[in-house]
Chain A
């Protein structure tokens, strides 16, 4: 039994007529632009009704001065099948704006989103509403800036030094 990919996309469209904003095909990969406010229900539908059980990756892009709204959160979801053709991947993109960038968490749908969302929060400062434990994951916890934002100077080591000195002080106490 092969899985009909077109049908999956059209099912999504009929289920969420208002919230599927656009679809793009590029080199056999399908990208679906979705309404960021509905991300949790769209992801839930993909998993529970269409069997996309695996969140392969979750990341974000900062399109400062290139696109507006500024951020895109990107979801790569995968559906396993017995045959090669049944192994299908789909990409969701949700645009979110500059002011207080927030999007719903999908941790309750795919548990693997936990650390991925923490990483996005750490690097871009995008908040995930409903995340069980939204802390920094790579940078020190008292670190201030969000280093993958395009308006952050990647060579700016001041904040890192501050955290380092604080950690040293705590050691000597």
Chain B
């Protein structure tokens, strides 16, 4: 992006940019999360959305419970194999471009549940962008993950269809 304020070119000036940059700038600052909370980590995620930690400072407070309106999936909580197909289906229903945060030890690698029912890391069936360790992670850690997603969008972006 560049700013051109030359009075010869029209007084108040104008911006030059590319469609991609502009679109990604908008995406990065208005992430709409799909909160996929299945266990204790979801409580911490709610804390992040609420006023004390206030994710709206990063433009990502509009939690959408319809995957069609979301572009960031925050998977927070233990994912069992029975739930995994639901999780995958919701991910598939989200429109492109989309990103995934794996919040908590459970989603990163099964956490304390080395058992017959629990998926040992959601990257078995989802493309994860950012992993957040902790059981549960501090709200600051989730905010950091959202900021990492913003960085990623800024650096790598996504095509404008």
Contact = CB atoms under 8 A, between A and B. Distances in A.
B122 to A, nearest CB: 12
A156 B80 CA distance: 13
B81 A171 contact: no
A163 B116 contact: no
B88 A171 contact: yes
Given A171-B88, A171-B89, A164 B116 contact: no
B117 A163 contact: no
B116 A147 contact: yes
Contact of B117 (A147, A153, A167): A147
Contacts of A157: 81, 116-117, 120
Interface residues of A, number: 18
A163 B88 contact: no
B114 A155 contact: yes
B88 A159 contact: no
B116 A160 contact: yes
Contact of A155 (B81, B85, B116, B125): B116
Interface of B: 80-82, 84-85, 88-89, 92, 114-117, 119-120, 125
Interface of A: 139-140, 145, 147, 152-157, 159-161, 163-164, 167-168, 171
10 contacts: A139-B82, A139-B117, A140-B81, A155-B114, A157-B116, A157-B117, A164-B125, A167-B85, A168-B88, A171-B92
